[in-house]
Amino acid sequence: DAKTTQPPSMDCAEGRAANLPCNHSTISGNEYVYWYRQIHSQGPQYIIHGLKNNETNEMASLIITEDRKSSTLILPHATLRDTAVYYCIVRVVSAGTALIFGKGTTLSVSS
């Protein structure tokens, strides 16, 4: 079973920030939080990952709570092209450990 819990769907207005929550209450000290997204009919795309500090890149920001039991992916200015399924995954980073996907959150961005 996936180690994360995400809402099945969310809506966001174009131009607004999209905040996608993820609960991972059983996360271990050596597990990272990864976010991927899958736009319809494409392979999943890496977004961002982090261990305990907040992270930011050109795509998004990742906010991890101090107890590491939950996190939020922030898309600062959502566009229609951000409509996708977003997957939050916790993962031990070691050789040969593949990503295990849960059900994810379907984000719908509308104008």
Partner 1 sequence: SAVISQKPSRDICQRGTSLTIQCQVDSQVTMMFWYRQQPGQSLTLIATANQGSEATYESGFVIDKFPISRPNLTFSTLTVSNMSPEDSSIYLCSVEGARGRPYNEQFFGPGTRLTVL
The contact set with partner 1 (CB under 8 A) reads: 32, 41-46, 49, 85, 87, 91, 93, 95-96, 98-104
Nearer to partner 1 (CB atom), residue 41 or residue 111: 41
Give the CA distances from residue 82 to residues 5, 12, 48, 52, in Å, rounded to whole numbers and listed in that order. 21, 10, 15, 25
Nearer to partner 1 (CB atom), residue 21 or residue 102: 102
Least separation in angstroms between residue 52's CB and partner 1 is 15
Least separation in angstroms between residue 17's CB and partner 1 is 25
Least separation in angstroms between residue 103's CB and partner 1 is 5
Nearer to partner 1 (CB atom), residue 82 or residue 104: 104
Give the CA distances from residue 55 to residues 1, 10, 110, in Å, rounded to whole numbers and listed in that order. 27, 22, 26
Nearer to partner 1 (CB atom), residue 54 or residue 57: 57
Integer Cα distance of 79 and 17 in angstroms: 9
Burial-class residue 8 by CB neighbours within 10 Å (0-12, 13-18, 19+): exposed
